[in-house]
Homo-oligomer: A and B are copies of this chain.
Amino acid sequence: MASHFSAVIRLNVTSFLAVGLICFHVISAFKSPLLSRRGVVSNPETRTNLINYKTYYFEQKIDHFGFIEDATFKQRYLVADQHRHKDGSPILFYTGNEGDITWFCNNTGFMWDVAEELGAMLVFAEHRYYGESLPFGDQSYSDPKYLNYLTSEQALADFAVLIEELKKTVPGAQQSPVIALGGSYGGMLAAWLRMKYPHVVVGALASSAPIWQFPGLVPCGVFYKIVTDDFSKSGSGCSESIRRSWKAIDNVTSTEEGLQWLSSEFRLCTPLKNKEDAMAVKSWLQETWVNLAMVDYPYEANFLQPLPAWPIKVVCQYLKDPSLPDTALLQGIFQAVNVYYNHTGNTQCLNTSQTATGNLGYIGWYYQACTEMVMPMCSDGVNDMFEAQMWDFQAFSDECYGQFGVRPRADWAITVYGGKNISSHSNIIFSNGGLDPWSGGGVTQKISGSLVVIMIPEGAHHLDLRYNNAYDPQSVLNARDLEVQYMKKWIKEAADSKSPSNHLP
C-alpha cells in the first residue's frame, strides 16, 4: 500500500484537478510600506515583533467518531494573549487549514491588527495531518490506513474539543465568546464550525471560502473563467496570448529540436525529453496562472518568491500580441512566468515540479479531495483561456483509488454541510474577492439577515485576512471595518444572552 504514495507529487503536477488542489492556498507574506488604520504599526519589521505567541500541544483523540481507536495525538496550537485584559474577553480562533499553522499565523495579519481593539486572545489551531499535528507521527502518510482520520468532520471536532478545553482551563475564559476565522479551506471550516457547533463559536468569518464549489452547486467552469477574466482585465491581448500558447507548445514540442528549444528558452532545470514532459509544462503553466490570480494583490508581496504589486498587470506586459508566431509568443510566456518565479532575478533555472510554498500539505489535501472535498473544475477554451477539459468524475475516482485505495463520495459534502440550503444558520460572514477564482464557489449573494456577504471587488484570495496596507483598496478597508462591527455585535449579543452552564454548581 505504501507504494500508493510514490507518485503523488508527480500526479499533482500532471493531474488536471490537482491544478485546483495544489493552488488552493497561496498566501504570501508581504514586504511593503504599511499604514495601520488602527494605529498599531507602520512597517513590516515591527509587524514581526507583533507576532508573539506561545506554542502548545493538546492531546486529541485520533478518532472522534469511533471508540475502538482510542489513542491520541498532539495537536499544535498557538496562543497570543497579550491583548486580553479581562475575564470573559473574546477569543479569535483560527481554524487551521491544509498547512503549517505558524505559516497561517504569520499570514493572517487581520487577527493581529484587531486583537487590541477587541481585547481578544488569539488562538491558531493546526489542522490534523498538517504541520506538526500528525496523528501517527512520521507514519501518518506512510500508508492509506493511517489517513483514515483525515476528514473535515474530525478536524471540526478537534477544534470544538480544543475550544471547550480552553474555556475550561484558561483562567477567565469560561464565559469568553469564541469567534472562528479562516481563509480558503480554513474559511470553509470556520463556517462549518459555526454551522455544526453553534454552541462552541458565536460566529464565524469565512474568508474566500468556496463552500459551494461542490458537484452541481456552481458551473464547473467558473473557476477558470475568473482566472481568465483577471488576465483579460489586466492587459490587452493577455488572456488571448495564453489561450494560444497551448497549441504553440504542442507545435513547438512536436520535434526533438523544439523540446530542446523550449527547455533552453524557459531555462528549465530539467530539460524536456518527450511529449509527456511537454504536457507537464502545460500543467505547470496553468497552475502558475491560477496562482497569480489568487495572489493578485495590490502591493508588492513575498510569496515563494517576491512578487510585484498587481503581478498580473506586470505579467501581461509580456503578453500583448496573441498573433505572434509560436516561438515569439512562447518567449513572451517565459517572460511572464519569470515575473512569478524570478522577480528578484536570482533564480538560476525554473523547476516545473513546484509552484507554491512548502508550507502547504499537498498530499494531505490531495487525499481530502479524493474523499470529501470533491470540487469539480472544467475548462472549455472558449469562456476561459485554458485547454478544454471536462470534469470526469470517474477518471478522478479511479486516480484516487489508484493513489490511496479510496474513492471520493461526490454527494457527501453537500449532505453533511447543506450545499446551498444554509439559511437556518446564523452569524457567518462570507467575504469574497472579485479577483479570486475561488469566489466562483463562494457565497456571494445574501442568504439571510445574519449570514452576511461581503464582496471585495479588487480583492484576490482572502485579502481581507491580511494586514492592513497603505495600498489596500478602499473596498477591503470597508470589508475589514464591517467584519469588526459584526464581531463586536456577536460578542455583545453573547454577553447579553449569557449561555447556560453545562456544569452543575
Residues of A within 8 A of B (CB): 61, 64-68, 70, 144-145, 147-149, 151, 153-154, 157, 160-161, 164, 196-200, 216-219, 371-372, 405-407, 409, 411-412, 414-416, 418-427, 497, 499-504
Contact = CB atoms under 8 A, between A and B. Distances in A.
Given A68-B406, A197-B415, 11 more contacts: A65-B66, A65-B154, A66-B148, A68-B145, A68-B148, A160-B416, A198-B424, A216-B503, A420-B499, A423-B497, A424-B427
A394 to B, nearest CB: 16
Contacts of A407: 67, 70
B67 A420 contact: no
Interface SS majority for chain A: loop
Contacts of A66: 65-66, 148-149, 151
Contact of A420 (B147, B371, B501): B501
30 contacts: A61-B409, A64-B412, A65-B65, A65-B66, A65-B153, A65-B154, A66-B66, A66-B148, A66-B151, A67-B151, A67-B409, A68-B148, A70-B407, A160-B416, A164-B411, A164-B415, A197-B415, A197-B416, A199-B418, A199-B421, A199-B422, A200-B415, A216-B504, A217-B502, A414-B502, A419-B502, A420-B500, A420-B501, A421-B502, A423-B499
A64 B416 CA distance: 10
Contacts of A198: 418, 424-425
Contacts of A70: 406-407
Contacts of A61: 409
A320 to B, nearest CB: 37
A153 B67 CA distance: 12
A279 to B, nearest CB: 29
A53 to B, nearest CB: 25
Contacts of A427: 424
What are the 10 A-B residue pairs with the smallest beta carbon separation, nearest first? Answer: A199-B418, A199-B421, A419-B502, A198-B424, A67-B406, A420-B500, A65-B65, A67-B371, A216-B503, A66-B148
Contacts of A409: 61, 67
Contacts of A217: 502, 504
